[in-house]
Each structure stands twice: as structure tokens, then as C-alpha cells.
């Protein structure tokens, strides 16, 4: 059993989209997958409490378009202790982490549990600059782990042929990150996929899955 935690510092960096598409790809490749929703949501909307519950979460996506594998909620700070037992019968557990800055306790627990951390990043100055604190957090997490965390960056929301993608790869590599060669393009296919059925075969996410599997095998 292997745990892939999809994480980043900030909200809105395509963590949920990536977790759901990667989970589908693993499932389509014949693996037994558990998708773990670990994001309790950000806004506690006192003025509109009906809207404060899990908007944009993997669980709500699954409620709208039932996924062909198991999906559970586990937004807890002791996920690193409970998930390995819950996921023991699966080949892969994919964790949709909350933004580290909003729910540090849960996000750190999801990194402690991980065999691989996948960090979706758009090739923009704002997102690339905010990757330095993530390295710092992972350094703290490594002190709590048996072995250092294997982590990789998945460049996503990339505009075709834009120089920004290569520049982001260079900047992130210089920061010390392993940047996957797979790139997820900025497309309506992904932007409109929340709450809809997913078929990952033949998409950039399936290429990313193959590359992460190889990365994990080499890191082990
Ligand atoms: N490849 C893509 N192309 C275009 N839009 C995308 C792509 N991936 C994600 N998006 C869009 O970006 C937005 C943020 O994605 P998502 O909800 O997956 O991020 P998140 O990191 O889980 O956010 P939060 O921290 O709020 O949970 C969504 O509107 C989503 O549809
Ligand atoms: Mg999310």
C-alpha cells in the first residue's frame, strides 16, 4: 500500500482536481484505490452556514458523480496514525490535503503519512515563490518521519508553448524540487470537471501517474 498526498501551501492550486484525476488514473490502470478527502474546507461562513460545508471537496465531487472506487473523509490531525490501517487493503491511497497554511495540523499529518507528496503548481510567479515555505515545512516533517519524504512537483494550469512553464521548472529545480516532465495544461476539460465523471486514460494526468509511479519506484 502506498499513500500519495497531494498538497500545497495555498488554496486554489488544483490539489483536489489533481487528487481526483490521479486517483482515477490509478484505478483505470487496475489498482485498488482509496481517495481520502482531508480538507475540512476553509471558509466558516457564519452568514451562510449552508455553504461552509466541504465546497470544492473530493467528497462533494464524489456525491455529485459517484467515483468507481472508495472515497472517505479523514480531515484529522492523526491521519498519519489512522490512514495506514484504513488503507491497508488498497494498493494506493490518494489524499486531497487542505492548504498547509489553512490547516497546518491536518496537512502535516497527511505529509507524515505519505510515501510520495505530489505538489501541483501553476507556472506563475505567485505560486512558484510560495514553494520556498513548502520546503521548510517538509524539512520539519522529515524530522518526524523514519525516512525523508519523496516529493515531486506537477506543473499544472500550463499555457501551451508559454515560456513561463520552462521558467517555472528552472526556478523550482533551483529551489531543490524534482519537477515531473508531465505537464497538465490549462483546459476547460479540467476546469469544468469538478462534480463530473472523469476518464483519465489518454490525458496528461495519466502521463503524470505513470511518471509518479516510476519516481516512487526509484525513490524506494
Ligand atoms: N488544468 C486546469 N486547467 C484549468 N483550470 C483548472 C485546472 N486544474 C484546476 N483548475 C481549476 O482551478 C481551480 C482550483 O482547483 P482545485 O479546487 O482543484 O484547487 P484546490 O487546491 O483543491 O483548492 P482549495 O485549496 O480551495 O481546496 C478550480 O476552479 C479548478 O477547476
Ligand atoms: Mg481542494
For the chain, domain boundaries: 2-219
Range 2-219 classified under CATH 3.40.50.300: yes
Q: What percent of the chain has pLDDT over 70?
A: 94
Ligand 1 binding pocket mutation candidate from 191, 192, 208 (most atoms within 8 A of CB): 191
Which is the closest atom of ligand 1 to the Cα of 120? 21
| Average pLDDT of the residues of the chain | 94
Question: For residue 55, what pLDDT is reported?
Answer: 73
Question: For residue 151, what pLDDT is reported?
Answer: 97
CA 210 to centroid of ligand 2, rounded, Å = 23
Which residues, other chains included, contact 174 with Cβ-Cβ below 8 Å and sequence gap of 6+?
A: none
Is 48 a residue whose pLDDT tops 80? no
Is 165 a residue whose pLDDT tops 60? yes
39, 18, 51, 43: which is closest to 194 by C-alpha? 18
If 0-12 CB within 10 Å is exposed, 13-18 middle and 19+ buried, where does residue 40 land? middle
Alpha helices (H) along the chain? 15-28, 58-64, 79-86, 104-113, 125-129, 132-142, 163-175, 188-191, 204-219
Q: Considering only the C-alpha atoms of the chain, give the largest distance between any 2 of them, rounded to a whole number of Å.
A: 50
107, 94, 26, 33: which is closest to 58 by C-alpha? 94
CA distance 6 to 27: 17
Which is the closest atom of ligand 1 to the Cα of 57? 27
pTM for this model (two decimals): 0.96
Q: Is the CB of 97 under 6 A from ligand 1?
A: no
Which is the closest atom of ligand 1 to the Cα of 192? 31
CA 101 to centroid of ligand 2, rounded, Å = 13
Question: For residue 215, what pLDDT is reported?
Answer: 98
CA 163 to centroid of ligand 2, rounded, Å = 27
| b/e code 50-89 from CB counts within 10 Å (16+ = b) | eeeebebbbbbbbeeeebebbbbbbbbeebbeebeeebee
Q: How confident is the model at residue 56 (pLDDT cuts 50, 70, 90)?
A: confident
CA 55 to centroid of ligand 2, rounded, Å = 8
CA distance 100 to 168: 21
Q: When comparing pLDDT for 41 and 67, which is higher? A: 67
Q: Is the CB of 156 under 6 A from ligand 1?
A: yes
CA 143 to centroid of ligand 1, rounded, Å = 31
Q: Is the CB of 39 under 6 A from ligand 1?
A: yes
CA distance 172 to 21: 23
Question: For residue 24, what pLDDT is reported?
Answer: 98
CA distance 66 to 202: 21
- DSSP calls for 92-134: EEEEEPPPTTT-HHHHHHHHHH-SEEEEEE-SSHHHHHTTHHH
Q: Phi/psi of residue 71, each to 5°?
A: -130, 125
48, 101 Cβ separation under 8 angstroms: no
Q: What is the DSSP letter of 148?
A: P
Amino acid at each position: 500500500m502506498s499513500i500519495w498526498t497531494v498538497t500545497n501551501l495555498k488554496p486554489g492550486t488544483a490539489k483536489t482536481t489533481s487528487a481526483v484525476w490521479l486517483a482515477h488514473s490509478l484505478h483505470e490502470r487496475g489498482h485498488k484505490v482509496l481517495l481520502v478527502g482531508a480538507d475540512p474546507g476553509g471558509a466558516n461562513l457564519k452568514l451562510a452556514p449552508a455553504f461552509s460545508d466541504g465546497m470544492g471537496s473530493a467528497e462533494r465531487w464524489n456525491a455529485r458523480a459517484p467515483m468507481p472506487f472508495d472515497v472517505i473523509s479523514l480531515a484529522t490531525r492523526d491521519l498519519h496514525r489512522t490512514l495506514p490501517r484504513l488503507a491497508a487493503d488498497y494498493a494506493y491511497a490518494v489524499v486531497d490535503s487542505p492548504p498547509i497554511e489553512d490547516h497546518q495540523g491536518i496537512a502535516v499529518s497527511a505529509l507524515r503519512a505519505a510515501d510520495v507528496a505530489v505538489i501541483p503548481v501553476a507556472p506563475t510567479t505567485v505560486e512558484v515563490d510560495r514553494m520556498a515555505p513548502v520546503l521548510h515545512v517538509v524539512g520539519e516533517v522529515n524530522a518526524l518521519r523514519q525516512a525523508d519524504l519523496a516529493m515531486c512537483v506537477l506543473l499544472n494550469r500550463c499555457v501551451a508553448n508559454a515560456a513561463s512553464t520552462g521558467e517555472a521548472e528552472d526556478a523550482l529545480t533551483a529551489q531543490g524540487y524534482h519537477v515531473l516532465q508531465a505537464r497538465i495544461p490549462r483546459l476547460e476539460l479540467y476546469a469544468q470537471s469538478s462534480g463530473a465523471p472523469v476518464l483519465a486514460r489518454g490525458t496528461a494526468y495519466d502521463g503524470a501517474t505513470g511518471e509518479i509511479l516510476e519516481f516512487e519506484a526509484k525513490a524506494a
